[in-house]
Structures are given as C-alpha cells and as structure tokens.
C-alpha cells in the first residue's frame, strides 16, 4: 500500500510540474502576442513598408477586405495591409529548409494514357435474338415424338415430332393421277395447290418420284440450340401455326452485367469487355457490349449492359456467374497524381510549385480517374509541378495569407513577364501544315471546350516550339484561348 501511495504521489508531482510549465509558457506566449499585435497594429495603422496598399484584412478572416486600417471586427487585433508587391509574388513562400522537413513532394503534369477499369458482376443468359419458333405448316395428329424435353440441346435438322395430316392424302393422290395423264399445265396447278396446303417442295418431289402418297410430315429443328419450350405430346391434335417448341441459341451467348449508375458515362455500345468465370478461373473470355438497357434499377441504382461472348463449343452455360471488366476507351490526356487534387466541394485545386520555396494554388477542371492518376481537362500545362504531399498545409497557409487562386476561368495570376496567364487546354493531333508562327493541326476532340475533331490553325507562342516537328507528325500540345484565337504554349512529338 505504501509503495502505491509513493508512486501516486510521484505521478501527482510530475503532473503539477508539467502544468506549471504549461501555464508559464502560455503566459509568455500571450505576452509576446500582445506585444507583437500592438507593434503590428501600430505599424498597420500609422506606418507600413508598403508603397501601395491594395486593401486591409484580418489574417484570421482573409476573405474579408477593408478599405481603411483599424481594428479587426472579428479578432482582438489590428488589420494587416496587403501590399501591391505581395500580390505579384508567386503565392505562398515557405523557407526551403522547411520544405524537406514538411515532407513536401512534387510531380510534373504529363501526358499519358488513362486506362480506367470498371469491375462488375454479371450472369450468362440465352441469346434471345437467336430464337426459332417451331410450328407445323398444317393441322393434324401427333403420331410420334422423339423423346426431347426442355433444355435439351439439339442441332439443326434434329427431328422433333411426326404429324399425320389427313388433308394431304387426297391432294397427293389427285396429283399422282394428273401426272399419269401427262397434262403438264394441270400438274403445275396441282403442285401450287399442294404448296398452299403446307407441303414443301421436297415432299412434292418425293410424291412425284415414288408415285405414293405421303401424308405424314416430320417437323425438324430449323436451327441449333437449346429447347427452351416444348409443347407437344403424342396423340395431340395440333393446328396450323401452333407453337410446338422454341429453340434458343447460345453461341454467341449473352452476358448481362449491372454497372453502377455513376459509371454510366464510361460505357458505350461496342466497347470491349473481358470476363472470368468460376468454372474457368484461369481463362478470360473477351466480348463486346451490344446493348445498354434503357432503364436503371431503382433499388440498386445500376444499369444493365448486355455483351456477347463467342461460345463455339458450348462451354459457357446460361446462368453462370462472371466477373466482368469494362475498359472504357483509352485516350492520351494530361495527368497528375490523384493525391495532388484538393477537392473542396465547390472546386478542385492543385498547389503549383513556382520556384524555390514558392507555391501557388490553382483551380483545375478534372476528368476521369484511374490507377491513382487524374485527368486534367483544363487549368494546367504540361510540365507544371504540382504538390503531391503536404499540399493541405500549403493550402491552409494560402487561405490565412489571403493568397488569390489562379482561376480556371479567364485570366489568371500574372506571369513572370507581367502578362496574364490564360486557361490552359490539352489535346493531341497530327500536323498538316507549318507556316512561320502558325501551325495547322488535325486535332482530337477537346472535351473542356466541347470541340469535335477538326482541322484548324493555331498560333505559336514561339516559332521555335516547332523545331524538329514536320507535317505528318503526331503531337501532344497545350494551348490557351485569346481574342485573336487559340495559341499553342507547348508542343511535342509523340508515337501515339
């Protein structure tokens, strides 16, 4: 018991000592803050180092600007001036020595192929476009069935049922009598009558050759497949046009998969797919989407896509479960690591590295995302460095400092030469003509501008950009929109 009390007393002593140190530190910090605030406030109110003050602001509420110096209505501190020189600086500045300590890493925006892959589940099904309806061409009595049942697999020409047609006997005997007279015109008329009764040319030819009446017909399968409906039994009376059976094909076989509604924009008819089945785990089956069904499932919020898979040996069975990979069209695009994008809910930002220790927030328009990379539709140019680690710390510092974001719409921050930076777009194309400071390109679609593929001229920011590029070359390029038209900022050859 004494040892426990001694340990508890020692813990109390340590706690008391720590609390005292914390209180002393807090008091010292408060005093320094008040001294610094008074000094800063005095300087802000009366004397600043700014030659030209743009506005005054509270560092804790940087979005609110004031025309005159004074005390902040939000915090117990003086307003701080925003100098014109500061506005021209490249965003947030961090001591280069702290950049490494903060673990700030960057990556270049570069062209690449985005290969998103959507994995969903699916089920194999009969090919409902390949259904044959078996019907008799005349009414009669079922004399024989051939032991078939539902789900039996049959080939083309497999006998299904023998039907006795009494009406055929009389017509065939009359035809035989006409043949014996040698009257060709009357024989042709009789043949036409027999066709109308439902006899095919093969049976008529057989009667003509054998001179014997044949009033029993064997109904056979018109196509190969599975018997999905069988409605005939021995002794039945059947009518002309009555459905005796349905035969459904399964080569190619259907694969129906449920795709999340959010991925609907990434699928299209004709798109390739691949599937793995539990029955054949080491094999992948390739096919193409043949239909996207028009309605979505209200409960699961999915849409159904239908693909066709070759099934020459019939190994794929309706009802089998499959894991389906949908690979949307691949296209080259400007890409950055997904972790570099800051999603605020209202817009998407990246932190750009300007020079040693300087960073600038920039708004971007993003597209698809896959494999840890995000497509940039607008707002970045190839080669710009984006922060991939520590960007939230820099973003917080930019917000506190009232740093303007490089906008994605219209003009942006001032470039180093004093000219406004414009919104950047990326695209690919083929060179058709080069003339001085202009280049004509047959470019791919530009989604951010809703441009289709077309041939059009572009101005060059610098004629030297096309050194080594010739008509016929495939290129990737970044351009901006100006009053005089689009202007290429960067361009390079590519093999794709």
- What φ, ψ does residue 366 adopt, rounded to 5°? -105, 155
Q: What are 181's two structure tokens?
A: 């007279």
Q: How many of the other CB atoms lie within 10 Å of CB of 153?
A: 13
CATH topology of domain 134-247: OB fold (Dihydrolipoamide Acetyltransferase, E2P) (2.40.50)
Q: What is the pTM of this model?
A: 0.47
Asked: is 92-115+331-421 a CATH 2.40.420.20 domain? The reply is: yes
Domain range list for the chain: 2-88, 92-115+331-421, 134-247, 423-493
pLDDT value at position 369?
Answer: 78
Which residues are registered as beta bridge partners of 348? 343, 364
Quick check: 110 and 383 in contact, CB under 8 A? yes
Q: Dump pLDDT digits (tens) for 62-115.
A: 556 788 888 888 667 788 787 655 544 445 666 666 666 666 788 888 888 776
- What φ, ψ does residue 464 adopt, rounded to 5°? -70, -10
Which run of H or of E encompasses 10?
Answer: helix 2-46
Angstrom distance (rounded) from CA 321 to CA 435: 59
Quick check: 273 and 286 in contact, CB under 8 A? yes
Angstrom distance (rounded) from CA 89 to CA 199: 94
pLDDT value at position 137?
Answer: 83
Predicted confidence pLDDT, tens digits, the chain (496 residues): 444 444 444 444 544 444 454 444 444 444 434 433 433 333 433 345 666 777 777 765 555 678 888 888 866 778 878 765 554 444 566 666 666 666 678 888 888 877 666 788 899 999 888 888 998 888 889 989 888 988 888 888 899 999 888 888 888 888 998 888 888 899 899 999 888 888 888 888 988 898 888 888 888 898 888 898 998 888 889 988 889 999 998 889 999 998 888 777 778 888 888 899 988 888 889 889 899 888 888 888 888 999 999 988 888 999 999 988 887 656 678 889 888 888 877 788 888 877 666 777 888 888 877 778 888 888 888 888 888 877 666 666 555 444 567 766 533 444 434 344 456 788 889 999 998 889 999 998 887 777 888 898 999 988 888 888 999 999 988 888 776 778 898 898 887 6
Quick check: 328 and 271 in contact, CB under 8 A? yes
pLDDT value at position 393?
Answer: 66
Closest CA to 250 of 130, 150, 122: 130
Closest CA to 256 of 119, 131, 126, 153: 126
Asked: is 423-493 a CATH 2.60.120.10 domain? The reply is: no
pLDDT value at position 101?
Answer: 63
Contacts of 243 (CB under 8 A, 6+ apart): 133, 134, 135, 229, 231
Could you give the C-alpha distances from 407 to 92, 404, 422, in angstroms and in order?
16, 8, 9
Q: How large is the C-alpha radius of gyration of the chain?
A: 40
Contacts of 439 (CB under 8 A, 6+ apart): 431, 433, 457, 458, 460, 466, 469, 488, 491
Closest CA to 277 of 326, 324, 322: 322
Instruction: Confirm whether 134-247 and 423-493 share one CATH topology.
Output: yes
Q: What are 178's two structure tokens?
A: 């006409």
Q: What is the DSSP letter of 496?
A: -
Q: Dump pLDDT digits (tens) for 331-369.
A: 678 889 888 888 877 788 888 877 666 777 888 888 877
């Amino acid at each position: 018991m004494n040892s426990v009390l001694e340990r508890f007393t020692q813990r109390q002593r340590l706690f008391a000592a720590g609390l005292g140190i914390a209180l002393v530190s807090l008091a010292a910090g408060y005093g320094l803050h008040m001294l610094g605030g008074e000094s800063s406030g005095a300087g802000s109110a009366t004397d600043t180092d700014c030659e030209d003050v743009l506005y005054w602001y509270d560092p804790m509420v940087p979005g609110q600007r004031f025309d005159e110096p004074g005390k902040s209505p939000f915090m117990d501190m003086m307003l701080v001036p925003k100098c014109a020189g500061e506005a021209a600086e490249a965003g947030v500045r961090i001591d280069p020595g702290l950049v490494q300590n903060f673990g700030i890493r960057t990556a270049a925006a570069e062209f690449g192929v985005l290969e998103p892959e959507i994995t969903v589940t699916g089920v194999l099904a009969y090919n409902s476009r390949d259904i044959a309806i078996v019907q008799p061409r005349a009414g009669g009595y079922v004399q024989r069935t051939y032991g078939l049942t539902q789900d039996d697999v049959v080939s083309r020409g497999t006998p299904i049922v023998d039907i006795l047609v009494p009406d055929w006997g009389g017509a065939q005997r009359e035809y035989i009598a006409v043949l014996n007279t040698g009257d060709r015109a009357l024989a042709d008329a009789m043949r036409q009558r027999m066709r109308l009764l439902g006899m095919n040319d093969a049976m008529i030819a057989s009667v003509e050759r054998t001179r014997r009446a044949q009033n029993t017909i064997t109904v056979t399968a018109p196509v190969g497949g599975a018997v999905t409906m069988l409605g005939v039994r021995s002794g039945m009376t059947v009518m002309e046009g009555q459905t005796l059976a349905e035969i459904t094909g399964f080569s190619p076989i259907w694969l129906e998969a449920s795709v999340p509604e959010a991925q609907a924009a990434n699928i299209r008819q004709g798109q390739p797919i691949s599937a793995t089945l539990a029955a054949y785990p080491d094999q992948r089956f390739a096919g193409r989407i043949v239909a996207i069904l028009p309605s979505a499932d209200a409960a699961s919020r999915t849409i159904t896509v239908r693909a066709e898979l070759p099934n020459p040996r019939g190994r794929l069975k309706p009802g089998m479960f499959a894991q389906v990979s949908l690979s949307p069209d691949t296209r080259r695009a400007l890409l950055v690591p997904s972790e570099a994008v800051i999603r605020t809910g209202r817009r998407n930002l990246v932190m750009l590295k300007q020079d040693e220790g300087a960073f600038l927030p920039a708004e971007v328009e993003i597209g698809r995302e896959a494999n840890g990379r995000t497509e940039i539709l607008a707002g970045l140019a190839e080669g710009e460095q984006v922060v991939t680690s520590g960007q939230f710390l820099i973003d917080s510092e930019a917000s506190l400092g009232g740093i303007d974001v490089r906008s994605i719409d219209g003009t942006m921050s001032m470039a180093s030469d004093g000219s406004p930076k414009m919104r950047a777009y990326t695209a690919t194309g083929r060179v058709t003509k080069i003339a001085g400071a202009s280049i004509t390109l047959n470019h791919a679609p530009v989604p951010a501008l809703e441009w289709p593929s077309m041939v059009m001229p572009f101005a060059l920011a610098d004629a030297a950009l096309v050194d080594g590029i010739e008509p016929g070359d495939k290129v990737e390029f970044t351009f901006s929109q100006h009053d005089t038209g689009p202007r290429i900022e960067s361009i390079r050859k590519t093999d794709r």
